[in-house]
Chains A and B, each alone.
Chain A
Amino acid sequence: MPRHEVVSPIPGVFYRRPDPDSPPFAENGSTVTDDQTVGLVEVMKSFHQIPAGASGTVVEFLVGDEDEVDAGQPVAVVETG
């Protein structure tokens, strides 16, 4: 199965949930569409949604909730096709 890496375009802090009281945007095994949000990156007090970028199944998160990420760093893997 082709693997698509979801990449954060910006550095910051990665969040898997829209807010602390909500469930995660996606779990391992979740089916996602390419424009579906799988996480947020907070940079300088502003939040940016990270879309899956491909339709398929989320098979792995490469960073944890509240982990720091660099620009261009893969944060999750989606299996397509």
Chain B
Amino acid sequence: MRKLLVANRGEIAVRIIRAARDLGIPTVAVHSKADGDALHTRLADTAVEIGPSPASKSYLVADAILTAAKETGADAVHPGYGFLSERASFASAVADAGLTFVGPAGSVIEKMGDKVAAREVARAAGVPTVPGTPGGVEGVDAAVEAARGTGYPVMLKAAAGGGGRGIRVVHDEESLRGAFGQASTEAQKAFGDGTMYLERFVERARHVEVQVLGDGSDAVHLFERECSLQRRRQKVVEEAVSPGISEETRQAMTTAAVNLCREVGYTSAGTVEFLVDDRSGEFFFIEMNTRIQVEHPTTELVTGIDLVAEQLRIAAGEPLRFTQDDIERRGHAIEYRVCAEDPTKDFMPQPGAVGRITVPSGPWVRCDTWLEPDGTVPPYYDSLLAKVIVWGADRDEALARSRRALDEFTVAGIPTTAGLLRELAAEPWVGAADFHTGTLEQWLAERKETS
């Protein structure tokens, strides 16, 4: 790899440029008009403006990025997360241009990005998926029969529905018999198709994901992260490893993730997402993310492995440098996503000019950010300002250090979520890891009512 083009912006572009520089690889930044003076633009050895400020006219324009690669002599492209990172056609276009895509092949991105195809891969690898009927069920008796297999409670879903519409949860056979006909009739009216299918409903679900690295012939895991603290399906706080699963579950889940990667001959860093039933400890495959993730630093802090550097080495054709036994974990790491949003105004995004900023640091605190003093938060991109990542010898130490680090975080000029995250890090239920994917929103709703 002679020169790496980073097809992204913000903190992840900065992160990737730093990893490349650590390895002695020259970098090319691409940037929109608004990012002409951005940190990633200035840190790279070369910078190319690829279009106007909106991402749809710059960071999402594959041709502009490929042209920039050609003009600057870059021979590899790192897509980061978001933008074009999981667009199979972009990975293929990079390869067709004779360049190296830092990530899996377009065909693997396509397969793992398709929910149905990914579930089939999971089944072939012996990885559990959410129990349910593969297609529609014929009438109420067939539904009752199917529910005996999946177990209650079950979710009754309209085959033609989507976006949460046409879904009903029933807790026993009697309510299933009562609900089926009506749900099917409603689906017929709403979607023109009354076909219903069944899926196990997990009431207290935890989101746990396994970090993997593959070189195409072998794969290893780097343990798991838990990302159950979410708001509107967006992760807010993530930690490594999960405080909510047993050692037995950890063993089974990480083995399943590695098996899945072997099944597809996975190359690069990836994440295998699971839903964990907090009551039974059962886990089910949901999907695979074929890119580096926002929360990857937590894994780095507990394993001591630079995931982006490993992505670059694998893309350059090197085999995995670790066997599974080489990979150990130590202590606990937690990441907080500090966003330019106003928690007192229903998390309204607040771009604008900033003044003085204080970014936390000190022992076992890492802050990945693109933000600089006297800079501007542009309105065009996502609201992530910084990731505050802390390490502790154990989870309690990591939480105590979180409170210290988040207290230090200040940005003059715009509201941020740092104060709210600081409050969250002191909550007893967070300390006890007594949460599931709905807990944070419940807490926010209760907090709003009492204030």
| Chain A residues within CB distance 8 Å of chain B | 10-13, 43-46, 48, 66, 68
Contacts of A11 in B (CB 8 A): 351-352, 379
Beyond A12-B379, A44-B340, A45-B381, 18 additional pairs, beta carbon < 8 A: A10-B348, A10-B349, A10-B379, A11-B351, A11-B352, A13-B379, A44-B349, A44-B351, A44-B379, A44-B381, A44-B382, A44-B383, A45-B349, A45-B382, A46-B349, A48-B348, A66-B54, A68-B53
B322-365 contacts to A, CB under 8 A, are 340-341, 348-349, 351-352
A44–B55 Cα distance when bound, in Å, is: 11
A51–B54 Cα distance when bound, in Å, is: 24
- Shortest CB-to-CB span from B149 to chain A, Å, is 40
B383 touching A45, Cβ below 8 Å: yes
| Chain B residues within CB distance 8 Å of chain A | 53-54, 340-341, 348-349, 351-352, 379-383
A13–B57 Cα distance when bound, in Å, is: 13
- Shortest CB-to-CB span from B347 to chain A, Å, is 8
B380 touching A13, Cβ below 8 Å: yes
Main secondary structure, interface of B, reads loop
Main secondary structure, interface of A, reads strand
A11–B379 Cα distance when bound, in Å, is: 7
- Shortest CB-to-CB span from B339 to chain A, Å, is 8
- Shortest CB-to-CB span from B351 to chain A, Å, is 6
Contacts of B54 in A (CB 8 A): 13, 66
A12–B381 Cα distance when bound, in Å, is: 10
- Shortest CB-to-CB span from A33 to chain B, Å, is 24
A10–B349 Cα distance when bound, in Å, is: 9
Contacts of A13 in B (CB 8 A): 54, 379-380
Offer 8 A-B interface pairs, CB within 8 angstroms, sorted by A: A10-B379, A11-B352, A11-B379, A44-B341, A45-B381, A46-B383, A66-B54, A68-B53
Contacts of A68 in B (CB 8 A): 53
- Shortest CB-to-CB span from A50 to chain B, Å, is 14
Contacts of A44 in B (CB 8 A): 340-341, 349, 351, 379-383
Contacts of B352 in A (CB 8 A): 11
Closest 7 A/B residue pairs (Cβ):
A44-B349, A44-B383, A12-B379, A43-B379, A11-B379, A43-B349, A45-B382
A45–B9 Cα distance when bound, in Å, is: 15
- Shortest CB-to-CB span from A3 to chain B, Å, is 28
Contacts of A48 in B (CB 8 A): 348
- Shortest CB-to-CB span from B267 to chain A, Å, is 30
Q: Which residue of A lies closest to B34 (CB)?
A: A68
- Shortest CB-to-CB span from B57 to chain A, Å, is 9
A22–B348 Cα distance when bound, in Å, is: 26
A35–B340 Cα distance when bound, in Å, is: 28
Q: Which residue of A lies closest to B341 (CB)?
A: A44
